[in-house]
């Protein structure tokens, strides 16, 4: 190479490497970029916190709450999580928002209830929790007062001991990262587990077995079995099409509340990790 490019080739190569690494650093994902991706893909906050129409989320009401979610044990109008100071979370600190997500506790100390999946969100990494807060700070404030939820059962005093620090999930182990995406971030395995004796999804004994009922304008839908009992004959592409497009291998469409409008934005490598994890679930 030196015979062609001259004696300074080594120095040029070193300089090129430095410039390349600098460019990579400049393109490093910011908290806001990570939060934007998470909220608009696997975490899909808007699937509950944005009012929905048959054609997707209501325009100009992103994350402003007010979506009715009913189960036999509760009636919930989802809260406004825009930065509106009076009806949203504009006056909450970053840590108060993180505590609401992971601890299920409002700034006034009161405890939140379902359908927020606190059992899963407790294992959301500090980095991803901060990223989601960064995105929530960036959306348009919307004034939309929402009624408090009603429950026919007492809420617990807490969902466990204080969360503390949660390390970032390693992305080099595909199955483990898929478990993080489908658990603490997307809580897919909760929605896709049948109701237990207390009405909550029985993730302890029937993880991923499906059959949990959802009630809405579409009628009643039941979550699918996502263990190898049902998906064992599906190809990876079949599973990805169901997640990202809401289409089964036979061409039929999945019903709400499957958040296809958000899941279509899941990155290819993340989708691969989710599929790899689903393949490891115990058949139910």
Do residues 101 and 194 both lie within one domain? no
Residue finishing a domain among 100, 134, 168: 168
Do residues 281 and 175 both lie within one domain? yes
* pLDDT score of 199: 86
21 belongs to a structural domain? no
Do residues 139 and 175 both lie within one domain? no
Strand order across the beta sheet in which 150-151 lies = 150-151, 74-77, 68-71, 213-216, 219-222
Q: Structural domain tally of the chain?
A: 2
Do residues 39 and 140 both lie within one domain? yes
13 belongs to a structural domain? no
273 belongs to a structural domain? yes
* pLDDT score of 269: 98
* pLDDT score of 217: 82
DSSP-derived pairing of the beta strands 150-151 and 74-77: antiparallel
Distance CA 138, CA 38 (A): 14
* pLDDT score of 3: 28
Do residues 34 and 163 both lie within one domain? yes
CATH number of the domain encompassing residue 233: 1.10.760
Do residues 203 and 126 both lie within one domain? no
Distance CA 94, CA 73 (A): 31
Q: What is the span of the domain harbouring residue 246?
A: 169-284
Do residues 208 and 102 both lie within one domain? no
Residue finishing a domain among 117, 134, 168: 168
Do residues 159 and 182 both lie within one domain? no
244 belongs to a structural domain? yes
Do residues 272 and 232 both lie within one domain? yes
81 belongs to a structural domain? yes
- Report yes or no on whether pTM surpasses 0.85: yes
List, in sequence order, the alpha helices (H) in 27-173: 31-39, 46-49, 94-102, 118-121, 126-138
Do residues 33 and 158 both lie within one domain? yes
52 belongs to a structural domain? yes
10 belongs to a structural domain? no
* pLDDT score of 221: 95
Is residue 184 within 8 Å of 121, Cβ to Cβ?
yes
Q: Which H or E element spans position 181?
A: none
Do residues 221 and 198 both lie within one domain? yes
**Which residues have a Cβ under 8 Å from the Cβ of 112 and sit 6 or more positions away?**
100, 104, 105, 106, 118, 155
Is residue 141 within 8 Å of 90, Cβ to Cβ?
yes
Look-up: residue for tokens 């919307």? 142
154 belongs to a structural domain? yes
* pLDDT score of 25: 38
Do residues 157 and 186 both lie within one domain? no
Q: Which token pair is 276? A: 């790899």
Residue finishing a domain among 111, 143, 168: 168
pLDDT tens digits for the chain (284 residues)?
Answer: 332 333 444 444 344 443 443 343 345 699 999 999 999 999 999 999 999 888 789 999 999 999 999 999 999 999 999 999 999 999 999 999 999 999 999 999 999 999 999 999 999 999 999 999 999 999 999 999 999 999 999 999 999 999 999 999 999 999 999 999 999 999 999 999 999 988 889 999 999 999 999 998 888 999 999 999 999 999 999 999 999 999 999 999 999 999 999 999 999 999 999 999 999 999 99
């Amino acid at each position: 190479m030196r015979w062609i490019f001259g004696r300074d080739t080594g120095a040029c190569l070193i300089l090129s490497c430095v410039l390349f690494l600098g460019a990579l650093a400049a393109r490093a994902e910011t908290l806001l970029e990570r939060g934007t991706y998470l909220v608009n893909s696997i975490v899909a906050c808007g699937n509950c916190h944005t009012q929905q129409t048959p054609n997707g989320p209501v325009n100009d009401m992103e994350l402003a709450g007010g979506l009715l979610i009913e189960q036999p044990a509760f009636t919930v109008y989802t809260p406004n999580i825009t930065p509106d100071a009076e009806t949203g979370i504009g006056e909450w600190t970053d840590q108060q928002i993180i505590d609401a997500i992971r601890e299920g506790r409002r700034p006034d100390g009161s405890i939140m209830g379902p359908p927020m999946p606190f059992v899963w969100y407790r294992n959301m990494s500090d980095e991803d929790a901060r990223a989601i807060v960064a995105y929530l700070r960036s959306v348009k404030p919307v004034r939309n007062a929402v009624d408090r939820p009603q429950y026919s059962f007492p809420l617990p005093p807490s969902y466990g001991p204080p969360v503390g620090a949660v390390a970032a999930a390693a992305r080099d182990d595909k199955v483990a990262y898929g478990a993080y995406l489908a658990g603490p971030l997307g809580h897919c395995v909760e929605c896709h587990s049948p109701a237990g004796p207390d009405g909550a999804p029985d993730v302890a004994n029937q993880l991923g077995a499906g059959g949990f009922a959802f009630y809405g304008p579409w009628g009643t839908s039941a979550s699918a079995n996502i263990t190898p009992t049902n998906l064992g004959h599906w190809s990876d592409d079949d599973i990805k099409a169901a997640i990202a497009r809401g289409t089964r291998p036979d061409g039929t469409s999945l019903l709400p509340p499957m958040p296809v409008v958000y899941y279509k934005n899941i990155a290819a490598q993340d989708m691969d990790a989710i599929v790899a994890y689903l393949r490891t679930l115990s058949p139910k």
